Amino acid sequence: MAYVELSQGESFESALRRFKRKVQMEAIIKEIKKHSVYLKPGERKRLKAAQAKKRMRKRMRRDISEL
């Protein structure tokens, strides 16, 4: 669990920014979203394959543009 202690004279806004950064670095939000919806094993497999295909297309597009 991410937590932030306020320093002497520190504003609430800066502490909130530090907290948000810490939560993002620990990938807490991503983990919550991942577990909030149940996916059947077949759906998960199809989603994983689609994401891999998308990454490959993006990589190929980037490699072609470098030439």
- Please tell me the chain's helix, strand, coil percentages from 3-state DSSP, rounded to the nearest 5: 75, 0, 25
The predicted structure's pLDDT at residue 34? 84
- For the chain (length 67 residues), average pLDDT per consecutive 10? 88 94 89 88 96 96 85
Residue ranges per domain, the chain?
1-36, 39-67
Distance between the two ends of the chain, CA-based, in angstroms? 46
